[in-house]
Amino acid sequence: MAVLAGKPAPDFTAAAVMADGSINDAFNLKDYLGGDYGLVFFYPLDFTFVCPSEILAFHNRMDKFKALGVKVIAVSVDSQFSHAAWRNTPTAEGGLGPVDFPMVADITKQIARDYDVLIEEDGVALRGTFLIGQDGNVWHQYVNNLPLGRNVDEFVRLVEALQFHQEHGEVCPAGWNKGDDGMQADAAGVAAYLTKHAEDL
């Protein structure tokens, strides 16, 4: 598994179904982000099982992501036409409805290869999630095997942690949540933080 954290996020151009249901045959990640934060998540296949619960979990938190300035992008090896059909299928029938972010068609599987989440023998991607900063670099990567669904609230927390670090220059200790103390990244900062919080960790 390649470690992308700290490196530029692999760019890509592919067909995608946009949030308004239109198809963009040349969706480009870098252009779409335009210097904003990004959250790219891979899922195995349309019309499957764990995947719709995750996609709807991202959709249901889009107000939070938008408030944080984060653009969410879903990617799977299905075609844009399969994505569109799934979006047009009611949730009561295993569909998604009109989710509020682009769904990219990785037909060639090259995007999944570039992010090193492709299971070659199965031809599908692992449940990889990549937080991209305004600098275009990957700040966090997270990969689950197929049976394990993601906790989408964790990605909201990580964006908040990244933005706290960028605003205040402090680092975020274990279990940090918005409103918690940060830590100065030096020996005195560690000592001060642990004096106050060691028992809570």
Per-residue 3-state assignment (H helix, E strand, C coil) for the chain: CCCCECCECCCCEEEEECCCCCEEEEEEHHHHHCCCEEEEEECCCCCCCHHHHHHHHHHHCHHHHHHCCEEEEEEECCCHHHHHHHHCCCHHHCCCCCCCCCEEECCCCHHHHHCCCEECCCCEECEEEEEECCCCEEEEEEEECCCCCCCHHHHHHHHHHHHHHHHHCCECCCCCCCCCCCECCCHHHHHHHHHHHHHHC
Active-site annotation holds for 51 = yes
Whole-number Å distance between alpha carbons of 52 and 49: 6
Environment class of 147 (CB within 10 Å of its CB; exposed 0-12, middle 13-18, buried 19+)? exposed
Q: Looking at 33, 51, 126, 156, which residue is catalytic?
A: 51
Among all residues, which ones are annotated catalytic?
Answer: 51
